[in-house]
Amino acid sequence: MITKQTSDFSTLDFVSGETLLIDKPLHWSSFKVIHKLRQVISEKKIGHAGTLDPLATGLLIICTGKLTKQISSFQDLQKTYTGTFTLGGVTASMDSEMEVTNPMPFNRITEEEIYAAKKLFEGEIEQTPPMYSAVNYGGKKLYELARKGKTVVRSSRRVTIYNFSITKIDLPEINFEIACSKGTYIRVLAHDLGEKLGCGAYLSSLRRTAIGNFSVSEALTVEEFAEKYEKKLFI
């Protein structure tokens, strides 16, 4: 496992397989991270264990070479996120990528109402994947249909919210920490919470802090990894 604590880059074998912990930066797609790493290590066989949206930051687990066969074992692990919900409106993407529509008053929402609504999203819950997602529908990604102005009926999915903590309320913002199962959409949770409160809400920031027992505090940025790897090559 290649982490911030890894000091000996001279023994790495990306063909036989290595696992990297990477801290994805804001505005990068998960694929862009993969593309950059392919350039650094000259290994085409690389995959990640669970994507992050471009507006999210945090932990990606990357497998190379023969270890890409083990990606599914990481994908099934519990995920932990921190971030912010913003009350008072909705967006088509359910996050801050798109403009807020249908602004609604939120000033009368009390902390008691927020905590009561939060409890409705603990344990096993049903979620409907958003139109702006990579879910396949009839051979196309949902976001491809959404960008053409189309909406289709999606089947709901059962996911598990193991922990949902509100860490700060400063309306219209609600800061949170959530531990959840594979397949959970935090932006859908934001949207659904806003519906329960009657004022709308969207996901305005998101950071993945852990996957199973692996923490983002152990992760390297892409730049840090590239620097360490290149120094090894030229020593």
Q: What are the extents of the domains in the chain?
A: 19-76+213-234, 79-211
**Per-residue pLDDT for 60 more than 50?**
yes
Written as one letter, the residue type at 47 is: G
Give pLDDT, residue 231.
Answer: 84
Per CATH, 19-76+213-234 and 79-211 having the same topology is answered yes
Contact present, 65 and 43 (Cβ < 8 Å): yes
User: What mean pLDDT is predicted for residues 106-128?
Assistant: 97
Average pLDDT, rounded, for the chain:
93
Nearest alpha carbon to residue 20 among 235, 216, 231, 227: 216
Residue 141's pLDDT band, with cuts at 50, 70 and 90, is confident
Q: What proportion of the chain, given as a percentage, has pLDDT over 90? A: 80
Residue 212 confidence (pLDDT) above 90 = yes
Residues 137, 174: Cα–Cα separation, whole Å: 33
pLDDT of residue 234: 56
Q: What's the CATH number for 19-76+213-234? A: 3.30.2350.10
- The fraction of the chain above a pLDDT of 70, given in percent, is 99
Per-residue pLDDT, averaged over 93-111, amounts to 94
**Residue spans of alpha helices (H) in the chain:** 30-41, 71-75, 111-119, 142-146, 186-197, 222-234
User: Encoding tokens for residue 160?
Assistant: 């598990």
CB atoms within 10 A of CB 221: 14
Residue 120 has a pLDDT of 97
What pLDDT was estimated at residue 235? Answer: 46
Least-confidence region, from 51-55, 188-192, 194-198, 231-235:
231-235
* pLDDT mean over 31-42: 94
Verdict on whether the full-model pTM lies above 0.75: yes
pLDDT the model gives residue 115: 98
Cβ-contact 9, 27 below 8 angstroms: no
> Which of the residue ranges 74-88, 119-133, 169-183 would you say has the lowest mean pLDDT?
119-133
Question: Could you tell me the fold of the domain covering 79-211?
Answer: Pseudouridine synthase (3.30.2350)
Residues 165 and 209: their CA atoms lie apart, in Å, by 14
Catalytic residues: 53
pLDDT value of residue 225: 95
Task: State pLDDT tens for residues 165-175.
Answer: 999 999 999 99
Does the structure show a pLDDT above 70 at 233? Answer: no
Specify the pLDDT at position 136.
Answer: 78
- DSSP structural state of residue 66: G
